[in-house]
Amino acid sequence: MITANAHDPDTGIAVEVGPGGGLRGLTFDTRSLRLGPGGLARAVLALVDTATARANARAQRELGDLSALGLSVQERLVESVEDTTPETWRV
């Protein structure tokens, strides 16, 4: 199964998603509770966006063009995905 993670050490929030953004895991620590409801929601959604871009990019590398399934990488996140992809994963 293809998944990707995103973690914010400042807020203590971590997410794991599959391609397309299906949430597979969500972790909070005490720091995340200090964000309040709106801040917590925004932080989780931002991490899900990042992890989704990573999962979609990984799926595209492994499986080919997935645009017909609606699993393309959002242009605004492409650079961050490339910046965080280890060289050992690159073809």
Q: pLDDT tens for residues 34-46?
A: 999 999 999 999 9
pTM over 0.85: no
Q: What is the mean pLDDT of each run of 10 residues along the chain (91 residues)?
A: 92 94 94 94 94 88 69 55 54 41
- pLDDT confidence of residue 9: 94
Q: What is the Cα–Cα distance from 38 to 46, expressed in whole angstroms?
A: 12
Q: What is the Cα–Cα distance from 74 to 78, expressed in whole angstroms?
A: 6
